[in-house]
Every structure is written in structure tokens, then in C-alpha cells.
Amino acid sequence: MFSYLILKIRDFECTKDKDIQLESEEELSTLALGQETETSETNLAKSSFVKLQRMDESLGPVWSQAKNKQNAYEIDDGVLIHTESICGDKEIPTGSSKSVEEYLRDLTQKLKQAHNLARGNYGKAQAEYASRYNLRSREKRLAVGDQVLVLIPSSSHKLLKKWMGPASIIELPRPHTARVKMDDGSEKENSTSINYDHT
């Protein structure tokens, strides 16, 4: 390529000034220098990659297979590579294949089996989770006169709400709902945000 460009420049030299010739020669030398730099950087990167491959102990058996030309490994210019047929020759099935209807019927049947299996496993997991949860859970049994803590929504952010108390239960109008009397004398009706005072 360089000789072709130099010939073109010499042909060009006869018809144009010497300044144009000098500029073209400078461009060519710059281009050649750039390609030499790229080549040396490429060679440096390649040699460091080869060193890393050689130092990796886990690749020892692969190197020996590549030297014996086994198992789709090969050494090309000092670099360990896979050959084009990684898993061997590809066999193309020539026997009778299923029709589209048969394939879809089989696929539908397999999907139904997978769905039923997943449904059964989900039911078992849900029952096991419920039984484990129920081992530790206890229903809150509140009575009039119990000392409790009340969750006061001091902010819209759930982490900034505060437990206040102790408060006394003065009435149980519905299950899981209590009317409480706070320390300051105010009364509040609360449903789910009541905890026993363990102090």
C-alpha cells in the first residue's frame, strides 16, 4: 500500500509544486509511524495476554489438550483459542419430525403439567408458611383496664410515627378496637395500633 501511494505521489510530483510533494511525504511518514505504534501496542497487548494464559494454572489441562489437538482447543500464534467446532460436528436430524399441531399439543400438555406442579408446590409452601407463622402468633386479648401503648400518627411517614403511653383501655366497642384514655386525659379510639405495655 505504501509503495502504491509513493508512486502516486511521484506521478503527482511532475505536475505540481515541490511543496505539495513534501506535504504528501510528511503525511505518509506520519501514517506509517502511526501504524508502527499501533502494531507495537497490539503486539504488547497480545504478548501480555499470552503470558496471562500461560500463568493461569486452571488452563493447564486445556493447553495439553490443545497441543494434542483434542476437544476443540487449538494454539494459534501462541494464543489458546477454541476451534470453530466447539462441540463437535453438528448433526442435522433427518428423521421424521412432528407436525405443527403435534408440537403445539405436546407443548400445551407440558405447560399444563408444569402449571399443576407449580400450583401444588405453591399450596404446600403456603400451608407450611401459615403453620410456622401460627406457631408464634397470638391474638391480642384486650380487656378493660389494661395498660397499653398507642401508635400516634405524628407524621405521614410510617417510620416517624411514635408510640405513646401508657394508656388505659376504657371500652372495647368492637373486636380488635379499643377506646383508650391517655395520660393527659384525652380519649382515642384505635383499632390496629395498640400494643401491650410491658413496663
Residue 183 has pLDDT above 70, yes or no: yes
22-33: per-residue pLDDT in tens? 444 454 444 444
Mean of per-residue pLDDT scores for the chain: 71
Give pLDDT, residue 113.
94
Task: In whole angstroms, give the CA distance from residue 81 to residue 90.
Answer: 20
Give pLDDT, residue 50.
72
Selected residue with higher pLDDT from 10 and 118 = 118
94-111: per-residue pLDDT in tens? 666 778 888 889 999 999
Above pLDDT 70, what percent of the chain? Answer: 61
Q: Pairing state of beta strands 73-76 and 177-181?
A: unpaired
Selected residue with higher pLDDT from 98 and 199 = 98
83-92: per-residue pLDDT in tens? 665 555 655 5
3-state secondary structure of 73: strand
Task: In whole angstroms, give the CA distance from residue 140 to residue 192.
Answer: 10
Map grid coordinates 402449571 to a residue: 115
Q: CB atoms < 10 A from the CB of 164, how many?
A: 16
Mean predicted confidence (pLDDT) in 123-144 = 85
41-69: per-residue pLDDT in tens? 677 777 777 777 777 777 777 777 777 76
Whether residue 146 contacts residue 196, with contact meaning beta carbons closer than 8 Å, is answered with yes
Give pLDDT, residue 196.
61
